[in-house]
Every structure is written in C-alpha cells, then in structure tokens.
C-alpha cells in the first residue's frame, strides 16, 4: 500500500510534465502556417481597340491591268495564253482590221476633198470672186473631215492591244475568232514581282485610324507556311467605303518571300494590332488569354490577385465580373471589369476562391500583351 501511494506521487508530476509538453507541441503546430498556393498571373494592359485583331487579306499585284479593246470587232489574233510573260509594248491581241481600213480610206478621201474645197474658197474670196459665207461653210466641212480622219486612224490603232508594262498574263476571258464588244475584258495582266495585301476594315474600327501616325510593326502569315510571319509596309487607305460592305481597304506592300511562290488571289492573315490608330478615347479594352476567363450562372468572370502591402510577392484573390468582345489570335478582348495593371490569374482558377491568400508568379512572356 505504501509502495502504491509513492508511485502515485511520482506519476502526478510526470503527467504534468507530459501535459505541458503536449500543450507546447500543440501550440507550435498551430503557429506553423501551410505553404501558400503559387498562382501564375499576367499584368493586364489596355489596348487601343484594334490591338490583337486580325483580318483576312488578299494578295494582289502592285501593277494590274484588265485589258480590253476600245472598239468592237472580231478577234482574229490572240497572241497570249494564261501564264505568258510579256514585255511592255508587245502586241497581245488584234481585231479584224478590214472594216477599219475601209473606213480610214473613206475618211481620207473626204478629208482631201474638204481640204481642196476650203483652199479653193479661200482663193476665190481673196480674188473677190467668192463669199465669206461659202468660205465659212467649206471651213466647217474641212474641220469635220479632219476630225473624222483622226478618229478613223485612232480606231485602227485601237484594233490592237499592247502590253502597258512587263508582266504575266494571269487570266484570259475570250477565245480567238469571237466577236467582242468595246471595253469587254480580254485578259488580265499583272506584274508578279511586286505584291500587295489588301484588307477590309469596318467603319467601327476605321474611325479610330489616324492618318500620318507612326506605324508599328505589322505582319502577314499564310496557312501553307506554318510558323512564319512576314513584315508588311503600310501603303495607303481608301478614302471611301465600299458601297456593299461599308468597309475601307487598307493596302500593304509585301516584300518578295524567298523560297515561296506568292501569287495574286492567295489569302493571308494580317495582324492588325499594328495598324496605325488614334487614342482609344478612354475606352479600356484589354486582351487576356481566353482560358483565364471563366463562366457560371452569374456570367463571365476572372480572378485577380491584389498584392499585399507588406509583401509584393503575396496577395489576396478576388473575383471580377467581366464583359467580353471577341476572340483574337492574341486572346480574348475584355471590354469591362478589368483595369490596366491588374494581375489576372491565368492558371489554377478552379482552385481559387474569394479572399484566398496566394504567392504571386508573374508570367514574363505575357506581361502587357503588347507587341
């Protein structure tokens, strides 16, 4: 009995020590914070309303001409084929000249007769044997005959089509020995050494383009040439919209692309974020990766991280409802809900929640989203 009582006395302080150790250990565990979840973010930046947009473009030749006769007739000589290379001044096609030569001979005869009558009337008037009225009549007839002779000579010239510049025949529209009308298209001639790309810009965007503003870099890409883009040079803007589409044409020079054959009619994609633009008049449009935008029953939203004042590498997560415009090659256009310089979370959004404390990782390749 005495031994048992002594054991109890020894156990009491031992239990106290154990409880104290256990309590201290629990307190230490409560003080250890779990590691913060790292999140990848981008810095949002405002665009000018056109940044990131792209447009389908059509390749055209800088020098292009639709060839036609200026007089009607029967085509007797078609001296070209599609793909033919021609030189400036080369005869490309000729009409039957028989009727035109007959007409020229008749006009030449009328002219000679009118000229003789005018000379005779002038001599008679000078000798006092003629009248001024007769002289005026013969002069008018002579002038008319002279004009008709010039027209007949010109019509004979018009029975031939000559190349206005060096180039290639890219299309023919008529066969030999057919009757053709004046100004009917016979063939298309293009200079394939110098190419352009045309895009159509709608009025809503065209109004933001500022003439004379310094241009940024712009590029074109082709589906058949993967992984490459080619610089373009701004040439000009049409002064009037197309009646059907209400769009304005913008032209760019396309330098020769070594190793590839680029021909008129091919399609390209022009990155229009480098079209010269005016200020955005306070309208914030921001482009962010499309996968950063989520959607639920309340609409589309993103998560942003606000850095903590005590540490720029940590922050709190907040939800921002956003409105979007359209998807571009650079991402989704955000028209409201995000401010420039906001840190938009771009990875792990499914595990985010309002007020969550996170460790910030800014993606250097996506900062600003500006070219």
pLDDT in tens, 201-217: 887 667 655 554 445 67
pLDDT value for 368: 41
Confidence grade of residue 93 (pLDDT, cut at 50, 70, 90):
very high
Of the candidates 50, 328, 58, the residue with the CA atom closest to the CA atom of residue 220: 58
Confidence grade of residue 66 (pLDDT, cut at 50, 70, 90):
very high
**52, pLDDT greater than 90:** no
**68, pLDDT greater than 90:** yes
pLDDT value for 329: 63
- DSSP summary character for residue 148: H
Average pLDDT over residues 281-302: 78
pLDDT value for 13: 57
pLDDT value for 69: 96
230 neighbors 255 (Cβ within 8 angstroms): yes
pLDDT value for 135: 83
pLDDT value for 365: 42
Contacts of 3 (CB under 8 A, 6+ apart): none
pLDDT value for 362: 63
231 neighbors 197 (Cβ within 8 angstroms): no
43 neighbors 341 (Cβ within 8 angstroms): yes
**196, pLDDT greater than 90:** yes
| Angular region, 293: left φ>0, alpha ψ -120 to 50, beta rest | beta
Contacts of 174 (CB under 8 A, 6+ apart): 75, 78, 180, 184, 186
Average pLDDT over residues 279-288: 58
Average pLDDT over residues 70-96: 94
189 neighbors 167 (Cβ within 8 angstroms): yes
Confidence grade of residue 275 (pLDDT, cut at 50, 70, 90):
very low
Query: How many beta carbons lie within 10 A of that of residue 331, not counting itself?
Result: 19
* 75-84, 196-205, 360-369: range with lowest mean pLDDT: 360-369
Strand partners for 285: 47
Of the candidates 371, 74, 77, 30, the residue with the CA atom closest to the CA atom of residue 215: 371
Average pLDDT over residues 79-87: 93
pLDDT value for 330: 66
**101, pLDDT greater than 90:** yes
3-class SS at 122? helix
Query: How many beta carbons lie within 10 A of that of residue 320, not counting itself?
Result: 16
- DSSP summary character for residue 330: T
Percent of the chain with pLDDT over 90: 33
pLDDT value for 312: 77
190 neighbors 170 (Cβ within 8 angstroms): yes
Of the candidates 199, 186, 354, the residue with the CA atom closest to the CA atom of residue 274: 199
Percent of the chain with pLDDT over 70: 78
Average pLDDT in the chain: 81
Domains of the chain as residue ranges with CATH? 37-50+282-362 (2.40.420.20), 54-62+194-274 (2.40.30.170), 64-96+159-190 (2.40.50.100), 98-157 (1.10.287.470)
pLDDT value for 371: 34
Q: CA angle 62-55-257, nearest 5°? A: 45
Confidence grade of residue 107 (pLDDT, cut at 50, 70, 90):
very high
Average pLDDT over residues 87-97: 95
**134, pLDDT greater than 90:** no
Average pLDDT over residues 32-58: 73
Contacts of 152 (CB under 8 A, 6+ apart): 100, 103, 104, 106, 107, 108
Alpha-carbon dihedral sign for residues 272, 276, 279, 281: negative
Comparing 130 with 120, the larger pLDDT belongs to: 120
3-class SS at 51? coil
């Amino acid at each position: 009995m005495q031994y048992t009582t002594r054991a109890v006395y020894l156990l009491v302080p031992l239990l106290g020590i154990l409880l104290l150790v256990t309590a201290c250990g629990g307190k230490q565990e409560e003080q250890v914070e779990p590691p913060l979840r790292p999140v990848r973010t981008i810095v949002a930046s405002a665009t000018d309303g056109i940044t990131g947009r792209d447009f389908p473009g059509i390749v055209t030749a800088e020098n292009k001409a639709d060839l036609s006769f200026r007089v009607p007739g029967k085509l007797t000589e078609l001296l070209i084929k599609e793909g033919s290379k021609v030189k400036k001044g080369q005869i490309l096609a000729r009409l039957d000249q028989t009727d035109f030569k007959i007409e020229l001979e008749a006009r030449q005869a009328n002219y000679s007769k009118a000229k003789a009558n005018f000379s005779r009337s002038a001599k008679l008037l000078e000798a006092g044997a003629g009248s001024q009225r007769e002289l005026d009549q013969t002069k008018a007839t002579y002038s008319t005959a002279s004009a008709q002779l010039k027209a007949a000579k010109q019509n004979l010239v018009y029975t031939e089509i000559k190349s206005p510049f060096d180039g290639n025949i890219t299309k023919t529209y008529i066969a030999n020995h057919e009757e053709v009308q004046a100004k009917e298209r016979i063939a298309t001639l293009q200079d394939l050494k110098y190419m352009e790309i045309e895009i159509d810009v709608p009025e809503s965007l065209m109004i933001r383009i500022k003439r004379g503003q310094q241009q940024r870099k712009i590029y074109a890409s082709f589906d058949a040439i993967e992984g490459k883009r080619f610089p373009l040079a701004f040439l000009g803007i049409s002064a009037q919209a197309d009646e059907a589409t209400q769009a304005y044409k913008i032209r760019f020079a396309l330098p020769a692309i070594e190793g590839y054959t680029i021909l008129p009619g091919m399609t390209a994609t022009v990155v229009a974020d480098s079209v010269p633009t005016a200020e955005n008049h306070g309208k914030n449009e921001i482009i962010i990766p499309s996968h950063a935008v989520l959607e639920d029953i309340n609409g589309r939203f993103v998560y942003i991280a606000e850095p903590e004042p005590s540490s720029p590498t940590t922050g709190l997560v907040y939800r921002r409802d956003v409105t979007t415009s359209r998807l571009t090659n650079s991402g989704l256009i955000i028209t409201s809900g995000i401010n420039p310089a906001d840190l938009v979370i771009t990875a792990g959004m499914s595990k985010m929640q309002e007020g969550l404390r996170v460790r910030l990782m800014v993606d250097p390749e996506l900062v600003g989203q500006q070219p």
